[in-house]
Amino acid sequence: MTPRQFAVDPHALEQARLDLIADNLPYGRVQAPGWAILIAVCFSGVLPVLADGLSPGIVLWTGAQLLSGLVYHLALTFWPRGQAVGPFGIGRRAAYAAAYGYAGLVWGLLPAAVLEPDHFAAVATISVVLVAVLAVYSARLAPHPATYLTGAIAILGAAVPGFSLAGGVPGLYIAILGPLWVVMLVTSALQLSRRIGEMIETRFQNEALLADFARSRDAAEAANRAKSNFLANISHELRTPLNAIIGFSDVMRAGLFGQLDTRYRGYAQDIHGSGEHLLDLINDLLDIAKIEAGRMDVAPELFAPGDELRQIARLLGPRARENRQSLTLALDRAPGEMLADARAFKQIVLNLAGNAVKFTQSGGAIEIGVRDEGGDAVLWVRDNGPGIPADRIEGLFNPFERVDNAYSGANGGTGLGLSLVKALAGLHGGTVALESELGEGTLVSVRFPGASRAAPAALAA
């Protein structure tokens, strides 16, 4: 599946490129005057190898370069990052191109301002300076090709005549060979510009994807809330008539108002069993809907988990015996009391133990236990049933997820039990773990953090 593509606004892409240029303007407005003063000092006679004294040309050039610092400052002030149009309706693109075009022209005039014929040291120094300036332009202006080309062409257009006319033979060599080097530099800078453009476009694509994901997530959450509210409301509406169906079918099969023949009594039994199964399903749906809608709270209280497990074992005992299964309790390490919602605890145990009885083969063994682990109460249910494939375990905690095997097909099931167990455990801040191997059985454990309590003195005695 290919990722969704979003069209990128060319204007937004252009402004993003110009934003990167704007980030460098503060450096330019400081560095241009600083380098101008340093170059003027070097060619003022301080270094005799470069010049005999301060010439009018270097003075004028220094003034022009100081002015370029002001130009950078104006560009940054009136066309800052994020502002597409400045004073007089002038766009940022034109303003930045003009600023760097002017600065490039001033740098290009440096050879004409300071060179003397056949002064090799001066020619070499100015060449190095202009190479450095072009390199800085390539790095700083590459995000926006138009601005970069304006500055680079301005430097080259003014420097070539300056070298050829004022530098003598060394200057002529530079004027001939320099443009070739500049072409290679510009080619590399334009390649860098293309890469930067792709990165900016990718950033816009990612931002659009994130925004689309956020919208989809909000829509999914709204749909999920609507589904949960619908299930909660419809479950309430269904339970009332369903209870009536179960009650009347119970009256009919018991023959309270007269005995039915065998066939009708069987029908009444089927109606009663189907009604109870449907009521269990509706109750599970209602609980899941309440949890997902955030309308179910737990009410922690102290209770003896061992007593609850004994009661559940008595409830499930007839079914286990009917299936010729052994149902045992492991309470030797059980906490005397635990702090949790007793109703939710009982529902968790009934779901897990009911699944074990339902899906374990005839003659199988089922064990239910609870133990204290460092202040946590850990409930577990183990069976030696058919087991679950490893690749299906994680999905079993999703609503309506079932594993198809010989026993699940024969005994039915809605696939809501484990999802409800996980949800109820989550309300306690707890976790659920399921371990299983095909043919080796299944172990499900539920941890209730900090729920274990010491046995009361009365019980301990």
In the chain, where the domains are located = 10-213, 222-292, 301-460
Q: How confident is the model at residue 37 (pLDDT cuts 50, 70, 90)?
A: very high
User: Average pLDDT over the chain, rounded to whole?
Assistant: 84
Residue percentage of the chain with pLDDT more than 70: 88
Is 397 a residue whose pLDDT tops 90?
no
Alpha-carbon distance of 43 to 181, in angstroms, equals 26
pLDDT tens digits, 230-285 = 766 776 677 778 778 878 787 887 777 777 777 777 877 778 777 776 776 777 66
pLDDT value at position 186? 87
- Domain 301-460 matching CATH 3.30.565.10: the answer reads yes
List the beta bridge partners of residue 91: 85
Q: In the block, which residue shows the tokens 């430097």?
A: 155
List the beta bridge partners of residue 381: 368, 444
Please state the three-class secondary structure of the chain as a single string.
CCCCCCCCCHHHHHHHHHHHHHHHHHHHHHHHHHHHHHHHHHHHHHCCCCCCCCCHHHHHHHHHHHHHHHHHHHHHHHCCCCCCECHHHCEHHHHHHHHHHHHHHHHHCHHHHHCCCCCHHHHHHHHHHHHHHHHHHHHHHCCCHHHHHHHHHHHHHHHHHHHHHHCHHHHHHHHHHHHHHHHHHHHHHHHHHHHHHHHHHHHHHHHHHHHHHHHHHHHHHHHHHHHHHHHHHHHHHHHHHHHHHHHHHHHHHHCCCCCCCHHHHHHHHHHHHHHHHHHHHHHHHHHHHHHHCCCCCCCCEEECHHHHHHHHHHHHHHHHHHCCCEEEEECCCCCCEEEECHHHHHHHHHHHHHHHHHHCCCCCEEEEEEEEECCEEEEEEEECCCCCCHHHCHHHHCCCCCCCCHHHHHHCCCCCHHHHHHHHHHHCCCEEEEEEECCCEEEEEEEECCCEECCCHHHHC
pLDDT value at position 292? 65
The mean pLDDT of 54-64, rounded to a whole number, is 91
pLDDT value at position 402? 59
Nearest CA among 79, 84, 72 for reference residue 25: 72
Is 407 a residue whose pLDDT tops 50?
no
pLDDT value at position 252? 81
pLDDT value at position 299? 84
pLDDT tens digits, 60-107 = 999 999 999 999 999 999 999 888 898 989 999 999 999 999 999 999
pLDDT value at position 392? 78
pLDDT tens digits, 348-357 = 998 888 888 8
CA distances from 136 to 101, 148, 151 (A): 14, 10, 11
Model-wide pTM > 0.95 = no
pLDDT value at position 162? 92
